[in-house]
Every structure is written in structure tokens, then in C-alpha cells.
Amino acid sequence: MPRKLLMPMMLVGLLGLLGALAWMPLRQAGLSPSVFSTAPAAETAGGVSADAPPTSEARLRPVALRATPALSPLRRAFEESTDLFAYSRELMVLASAGDADAMWLLSLVHDYCAGYAADPVGYAQDTRVIERLGLSGGAAMLSARQRVQQRCARFVPQDGFSLPMIVNQRTQAARAGSLAAEAALLAMERPLEDGDDYRRDLVQRVLDSGDPFAFVAIAPAMGSAGVAHRDTLGEVSGSELSEIAWRIASCRLGMDCSPEGSMMTNYCVNGGICSQDETQDFSSFARDAGIPRQGEDNVEEMVGTLLSRTGVEG
């Protein structure tokens, strides 16, 4: 059993959690599609109702992609900003002007903060309970929850974060040219287009892009849920280890996989899977918590295969 786990069951937990991370904050908030269907329609930055059904346009292939720097100031701000409410207002201005990356990042902010925004008072109370319990290894959970609470402090339930809102934002972003948003829609089982040819083409475009945000966005689709499309999605697909490989590859391409980054924070806050080593990044954490010893070489080989397709050395 790995040394640096919060609970003995976390080896199984990490593997099971991987595919759910894209929606986990919304699920943590107690939200579900049936609840969303009764909520008032919300406006997105693009001016389209978040609860409106997809139009036929949403099924069209997105426009040609514009190259987006992996570590652009706007992307770095998602990880570095201490006030995601203020950051989201900057994104909304850019998104309303048609900036596809801003649309994508806005959906990430809403996803990251959804669990807190649904019930700020209850979230704070739960954090205090965790602090009083003094659980072994609970310091990491407490630190992660406090980080989310600080960064999302000005969001409220009336902001109406919902799964339809996230899907709508990502659909608009993908149609505007965000490859990461398009990849995320595939992972959420809401692809812009149906068919194996489309899936094959999308995976190839993600590989060609070397975009770490696109790599991590498509990762859930490459996990065990991708078994049905193994021949379409490529050789690095169809298992939990495949998903881990895509995530590790995103780290090497520039994704913030640091101990306080959004990826590690989501695992800890929303999945209860926290590393007790405060210096541990995602790659080392995954090896401790989610990769059987006999599978480590296999994962490293898969990561190398992915990076070789981007021209980046692993």
C-alpha cells in the first residue's frame, strides 16, 4: 500500500475518480441534470441561455484553430489568481468579444468554484468540521478546501453554476476554436459530432497541438470509458492507466500540476484523495497512488508515445 495516502482505500479511489473529475465540483455541490432542468435559464458570456437545447449549429465542425500559447498570461492567471471572481469578469469581457480561450477558461472557473458557490456557508462549516476532527493527514484536505474558499469567495448560489451552463460554454468555445473545449465535450460524452472519423480526427488534432489544456481535457475519454472506441482513439486509450498517461503528458507540456494547482486541488477537495507530501506534484502523486508497480514502465512508455507525437521530448 502506498505510503503517502490519506486513507488505505485511495489506490482504488484514484483510479475510480479519474474519469469523473471534469464534473466533480458540480456533483459535489449536489447538482444533477434533473435539478438543472428546473432552474431558471442563465445567460452566458456569449448571450445564449445555458439551458437552451443545442442547435444544429452546435453539431458543425469548429472553425480553424488559432495557436494558443500553453502558458499565456491569461492561462497562467487561472492557476495564479487569488480572486477568481475578478478573473472571471475579465474573461467575460474577452469571451463576449469572441475569444475562444477565454470562453474555455471561464468554464474552468465555474467548474472549479461550483462546489463552493452552491453553498458557501455550508462549505465553510464543513471545512471547520474537518479542522476540528484533526484527522491524520487531514491538513492537506484543510489546506485545499481553504484555497478553494479563498479563490472562489465572491461567488454565490445565485450565480447559478450548472452542468448545462458548463456544457453550453464549452460548446460555444469549441465552435469558436477552442480545442481544449472540444476535447472536454468528448470527455463529457457530448461531442460536437458523432462517428469514429470525428473521434479519430479530434484525438489527432489534440496530439498535433501539444496543448496541455487539450491533453488534460481529453484524458477522461481516453480512460476505461474509451474501451468501446479503442480502435478509434488510438493506442494510448482504453484503461485507467491510459488516462493517467495523458494527464502526466499534459504536465510535461506545461500544465500546472504543482501541489497547489487546480488538478491536485480537485483530487483532494472533491475526491478526498490528498497527498501527505506537500511537495508532491501530480506525476509523483499518481505514481504513488494510482499506478501499480508493474504498470509504471507501461505508463512511462505511453507518456513517451504521446509526447513523441507532439515533437516534445519526455
Give DSSP secondary structure letters for 155-215: --GGG---HHHHHHHHHHHHHHT-HHHHHHHHHTT--SS-SHHHHHHHHHHHHHHT-HHHH
Eight-class DSSP state of 77: H
In the chain, the N- to C-terminal Cα span, in Å, equals 28
Asked, for residue 261, whether it belongs to a domain, the answer is: yes
Q: Is residue 52 part of a domain?
A: no
**Which own/partner pairs from 228-237 qualify as long-range (CB within 8 Å, at least 24 positions apart)?**
229/196, 229/199, 231/196, 232/196, 232/199, 232/200, 232/203, 233/199, 233/200, 233/203, 234/200, 234/203, 235/302, 235/305, 236/302, 236/305, 236/306, 237/203
Residue 5 domain-assigned? no
pLDDT value for 11 = 33
User: Which helix (H) or strand (E) is 16 found in, with range?
Assistant: helix 10-17
Distance CA 299, CA 245 (A): 6
Whether 194 is in a domain gets the answer: yes
Between CA 271 and CA 174 the distance in angstroms is: 28
Helix-helix angle 262-271:282-289, to 10 degrees: 40
Q: What is the pLDDT of residue 309?
A: 85
Quote the pLDDT of residue 32: 29
Q: How many CB atoms lie within 10 A of CB 307?
A: 20
pLDDT of residue 173: 98
Q: Give the pLDDT confidence score for residue 153 in this predicted structure.
A: 97
∠ CA 305-310-300, rounded to 5°: 25
Residue 95 domain flag:
yes
Q: For the chain, what is the domain count? A: 1
Instruction: Look at residue 304 and tell me if it is in a domain.
Output: yes
Are the CB atoms for 22 and 184 separated by under 8 Å?
A: yes
Question: Which pLDDT belongs to residue 71?
Answer: 78
Q: Check: CB of residue 243 under 8 Å from CB of residue 289.
A: no
pLDDT along the chain (314 residues), means of 10: 35 39 40 27 35 34 39 93 98 97 97 96 94 81 94 96 94 97 96 94 95 95 80 86 94 94 91 84 85 83 91 58
60 domain residue, yes or no: no
Residue 43 DSSP class: B
Q: What pLDDT is attached to residue 228? A: 75
Q: Could you give the 3-state DSSP secondary structure of residue 306?
A: helix
List of residues 6+ apart from 203 with CB closer than 8 A: 218, 232, 233, 234, 237
Residues 171, 219: Cα–Cα separation, whole Å: 18
- 61, 192 in Cβ contact below 8 A? yes
Q: What is the pLDDT of residue 66?
A: 37
Query: E strand or H helix at 293, and its extent?
Result: none
Identify the domain containing residue 147 by its residue range.
Answer: 10-45+71-310
Within-domain flag for 53: no
Q: Which residue has the cell 489506490?
A: 11
